[in-house]
Structure 1
Protein backbone atom coordinates (compact mmCIF):
# COMPACT_ATOMS: atom_id res chain seq x y z
CA UNK A 1 0.00 0.00 0.00
CA UNK A 2 2.86 2.38 0.70
CA UNK A 3 4.19 1.84 -2.85
CA UNK A 4 1.18 3.60 -4.33
CA UNK A 5 2.27 6.84 -2.67
CA UNK A 6 5.53 6.61 -4.63
CA UNK A 7 3.61 7.31 -7.85
CA UNK A 8 4.27 10.86 -9.00
CA UNK A 9 1.20 13.02 -8.35
CA UNK A 10 -0.55 10.45 -6.12
CA UNK A 11 -1.89 11.73 -2.83
CA UNK A 12 -3.65 10.14 0.11
CA UNK A 13 -7.26 11.24 0.62
CA UNK A 14 -9.44 10.92 3.68
CA UNK A 15 -12.40 8.55 4.03
CA UNK A 16 -14.69 11.60 4.03
CA UNK A 17 -13.30 12.75 0.70
CA UNK A 18 -13.57 9.21 -0.69
CA UNK A 19 -17.26 9.03 0.26
CA UNK A 20 -17.95 12.19 -1.76
CA UNK A 21 -16.57 10.73 -5.00
CA UNK A 22 -19.28 9.63 -7.42
CA UNK A 23 -18.67 7.38 -10.38
CA UNK A 24 -20.04 4.77 -12.69
CA UNK A 25 -20.36 3.90 -16.37
CA UNK A 26 -22.90 6.62 -17.09
CA UNK A 27 -21.67 9.37 -19.44
CA UNK A 28 -23.97 11.98 -17.90
CA UNK A 29 -27.32 12.61 -16.21
CA UNK A 30 -29.24 10.69 -18.88
CA UNK A 31 -26.89 7.71 -18.88
CA UNK A 32 -26.76 5.22 -21.72
CA UNK A 33 -29.88 4.32 -23.67
CA UNK A 34 -30.00 0.57 -23.07
CA UNK A 35 -33.16 0.32 -25.19
CA UNK A 36 -30.79 0.45 -28.19
CA UNK A 37 -29.06 -2.73 -27.01
CA UNK A 38 -30.13 -6.23 -27.94
CA UNK A 39 -29.04 -9.72 -28.93
CA UNK A 40 -28.86 -11.39 -32.33
CA UNK A 41 -29.75 -15.02 -33.08
CA UNK A 42 -26.23 -16.21 -32.28
CA UNK A 43 -26.23 -14.57 -28.85
CA UNK A 44 -24.04 -11.59 -29.79
CA UNK A 45 -24.71 -8.18 -28.27
CA UNK A 46 -26.04 -5.66 -30.82
CA UNK A 47 -26.33 -1.89 -30.70
CA UNK A 48 -23.93 0.96 -29.87
CA UNK A 49 -20.44 0.22 -28.52
CA UNK A 50 -21.43 0.62 -24.87
CA UNK A 51 -23.93 -2.24 -25.10
CA UNK A 52 -21.18 -4.87 -24.90
CA UNK A 53 -20.22 -3.45 -21.50
CA UNK A 54 -23.79 -3.06 -20.25
CA UNK A 55 -25.66 -6.27 -21.16
CA UNK A 56 -24.98 -9.92 -21.78
CA UNK A 57 -26.68 -12.37 -24.14
CA UNK A 58 -27.21 -16.10 -23.84
CA UNK A 59 -24.99 -17.97 -26.27
CA UNK A 60 -27.82 -19.93 -27.91
CA UNK A 61 -29.78 -19.73 -31.14
CA UNK A 62 -33.37 -18.71 -30.37
CA UNK A 63 -34.62 -16.88 -33.47
CA UNK A 64 -36.14 -19.94 -35.16
CA UNK A 65 -37.95 -21.24 -32.06
CA UNK A 66 -41.28 -19.78 -33.18
CA UNK A 67 -41.15 -21.46 -36.59
CA UNK A 68 -42.65 -24.91 -36.82
CA UNK A 69 -43.16 -27.02 -39.94
Structure 2
Protein backbone atom coordinates (compact mmCIF):
# COMPACT_ATOMS: atom_id res chain seq x y z
CA UNK A 1 0.00 0.00 0.00
CA UNK A 2 2.78 2.42 0.94
CA UNK A 3 4.48 1.90 -2.41
CA UNK A 4 1.24 2.68 -4.27
CA UNK A 5 0.72 5.93 -2.37
CA UNK A 6 4.26 7.10 -3.01
CA UNK A 7 3.80 6.47 -6.73
CA UNK A 8 1.09 9.15 -6.90
CA UNK A 9 2.46 12.31 -8.49
CA UNK A 10 3.08 15.06 -5.92
CA UNK A 11 2.95 12.75 -2.87
CA UNK A 12 5.95 12.40 -0.61
CA UNK A 13 6.63 10.80 2.73
CA UNK A 14 7.34 13.05 5.72
CA UNK A 15 8.85 12.09 9.04
CA UNK A 16 6.98 12.09 12.35
CA UNK A 17 9.02 15.12 13.39
CA UNK A 18 7.82 17.04 10.32
CA UNK A 19 4.25 15.88 10.92
CA UNK A 20 4.32 17.35 14.43
CA UNK A 21 5.28 20.73 12.96
CA UNK A 22 2.10 20.91 10.88
CA UNK A 23 -0.42 23.34 12.31
CA UNK A 24 -3.99 23.40 11.21
CA UNK A 25 -7.55 22.97 12.26
CA UNK A 26 -11.14 23.45 11.35
CA UNK A 27 -12.20 26.57 9.55
CA UNK A 28 -11.99 28.58 6.38
CA UNK A 29 -8.72 30.38 7.04
CA UNK A 30 -10.30 33.23 9.00
CA UNK A 31 -8.33 32.39 12.11
CA UNK A 32 -9.09 29.78 14.70
CA UNK A 33 -12.47 28.22 15.30
CA UNK A 34 -13.41 28.78 18.95
CA UNK A 35 -16.25 26.43 19.90
CA UNK A 36 -16.42 28.03 23.35
CA UNK A 37 -18.26 30.90 21.63
CA UNK A 38 -21.03 28.50 20.58
CA UNK A 39 -24.07 27.72 22.67
CA UNK A 40 -27.82 27.15 22.73
CA UNK A 41 -30.64 29.51 23.53
CA UNK A 42 -33.78 28.55 25.43
CA UNK A 43 -35.57 27.55 22.22
CA UNK A 44 -32.79 25.12 21.26
CA UNK A 45 -31.22 27.27 18.53
CA UNK A 46 -27.45 27.42 18.07
CA UNK A 47 -25.98 30.76 19.16
CA UNK A 48 -22.61 32.32 18.42
CA UNK A 49 -20.64 32.95 15.24
CA UNK A 50 -21.93 31.57 11.93
CA UNK A 51 -19.53 28.61 11.95
CA UNK A 52 -21.16 27.30 15.14
CA UNK A 53 -24.03 25.92 13.06
CA UNK A 54 -21.55 23.64 11.29
CA UNK A 55 -19.81 22.34 14.41
CA UNK A 56 -22.39 22.53 17.19
CA UNK A 57 -25.82 21.04 17.80
CA UNK A 58 -28.55 21.75 20.32
CA UNK A 59 -31.42 19.67 21.61
CA UNK A 60 -34.68 20.50 19.86
CA UNK A 61 -36.46 20.89 23.18
CA UNK A 62 -34.47 22.86 25.69
CA UNK A 63 -35.94 24.99 28.44
CA UNK A 64 -34.16 27.49 30.63
CA UNK A 65 -34.56 28.13 34.34
CA UNK A 66 -36.22 24.79 35.07
CA UNK A 67 -36.29 24.11 38.76
CA UNK A 68 -36.99 20.68 40.07
CA UNK A 69 -39.35 20.72 42.99
CA UNK A 70 -39.28 17.76 45.33
Deviation, structure 1 residue 62: 2.5
Deviation, structure 1 residue 50: 1.0
Write the mapping of 1:1-69 to structure 2, written as runs, cut at 5 A. Answer: 1-2=1-2, 3-25=4-26, 27-28=30-31, 31-32=32-33, 35=37, 37-39=38-40, 41=43, 43-62=44-63
2:54 and 2:62 mapped to 1: Cα distance? Answer: 21
Question: Higher mean Cα deviation, 7-16 or 50-59?
Answer: 50-59
Give me the TM-score of the superposition, normalised by structure 2. Answer: 0.54
Q: 1:9 to 1:58 in 2, by over 3 A?
A: same
What 5-or-longer segments of structure 1 have no aligned partner? none
Deviation, structure 1 residue 38: 4.0
The alignment covers a number of residue pairs equal to 62
